[in-house]
Amino acid sequence: MLKIENLRKSYDKDVVIDGISLEVPAGEVAVLIGASGSGKTTLLRCINSLEVPQYGRIFVDGEPMGEHRANGEFHPFSDRKLARKRAKIGMVFQRFNLFPHLTALQNVQLGPIMVLGKSKEEAEEVAARQLKKVGLGDKLNAYPARLSGGQQQRVAIARALAMNPKLILFDEPTSALDPELVAEVLEAMRRLAEEGMTMVIVTHEMSFAESIAKKVFFLHDGRVLEEGPPAAVFRNPRHERTRNFLQRTRHQAPA
C-alpha cells in the first residue's frame, strides 16, 4: 500500500530525511518511533504531500505521489492532480483542527462534499456512520467546544474515515490529550487495525505500539536505524541507540 524509496528532505543545509526506504503492505500497521527531531512527522507530511522532498520516490496503492525524475529528483504534481491522489490518504494530526463553528457531523461531512462531490444527504449519512464507528453516535450535533479532547480527536479520526482512504497517517494523535483521555483514542485506532485499515502511526505510546504494530521503524537523525516486528525491536534491539531510547520510555504506562 505504501512504498518509499531513498527519500531525502532538507531545509537549506538541515537534512531531516536522509535516504529513508520502507514498505507497508495493505492491511498492516506500521509504527514510527524515535526521539523528537528524528524525522517522523516530516516523513508523514512527505507521504501526504504536505511537504515536498527533494529526492526519492513515494507510491501509495501503486501510484506515484509526485513526479519521479531519472536523476532521482522529486517534483510535485499539479494541485488538481495532487488533490485527487491525496484523497486516498487520511491524516490525523496532534491537534484536532476542527472547525469550531461546525458540529461534529458537519466537520466530518465537509470533506465528502467538497472533495468527493457527494450530496449533502449522502455526506451526512457517511459522516453519521463514521462518527458512530468511533463511539460518537450521540454527539452528532455537538460543537467542538462541548467535546472533550478525546472526543474531538475521535471526530478527527471519523473525518479521515469519511473520505474512504486507502491509508491513514497518525501523527502523535494522543500527545495533546490529558492522560485519562488517551485510552479512548487508542481503542478507536485499535478497532481500525482489527478491521484491516492500513495505518502508519507516529507515537510515543510504546505499549500501544508494541501491541498494534506489524512492523516498527526506529528513526534516528533522519534515517531508519532499526526495523522489524515489535517483539524484535522492543525486546531485543540490535543498536545501542535504540536500547537507550527504549530505556528512557519505559516509565510510560501501558496503553
- Is the pLDDT at 119 greater than 50, yes or no? yes
Q: What single letter denotes the amino acid at residue 138?
A: D
pLDDT, position 84: 83
- The b-or-e profile of 130-169 (16+ CB within 10 A means b, else e) is bbebbbbeebbebbbeebebbbbbbbbbbbbbbbebbbbb
Average pLDDT over residues 194-214: 92
- Nearest-CA neighbor of 154 among 171, 131, 177, 138? 131
Q: In the block, which residue shows the cell 501491541? A: 211
Distance CA 155, CA 56 (A): 34
> Does residue 255 have a pLDDT over 80?
no
Mean pLDDT score, 202-222? 93
Is the model's pLDDT at 217 over the cut of 80?
Answer: yes
Q: Which residues pair with 143 in a beta bridge?
A: none
Q: Which residues contact 111 (CB under 8 A, 6 or more apart)?
A: 159, 162, 163
Q: How many CB atoms lie within 10 A of CB 14?
A: 8
Q: For a pLDDT cut of 90, what percent of the chain falls above it?
A: 76
What's the average model confidence in pLDDT over 122-133? 95
Mean pLDDT of 51-64: 94
C-alpha cell at 68: 519521479
CA-closest candidate to residue 43, choices 24, 70, 63: 24
DSSP letter at 138 equals T
Average pLDDT of the residues in 206-218: 93
7 vs 253 pLDDT, higher one = 7
Average pLDDT for 63-87: 89
pLDDT of res. 36:
87
pLDDT averaged over every residue in the chain: 91
Res 250 pLDDT > 80: no
CB 57 within 8 A of CB 73: no
Q: Would you place residue 251 in the very low, low, confident or very high pLDDT band (cuts 50, 70, 90)? A: low
Q: How far apart are CA 168 and CA 192, in angstroms?
A: 10
CA atoms within 13 A on the CB side of 210: 17
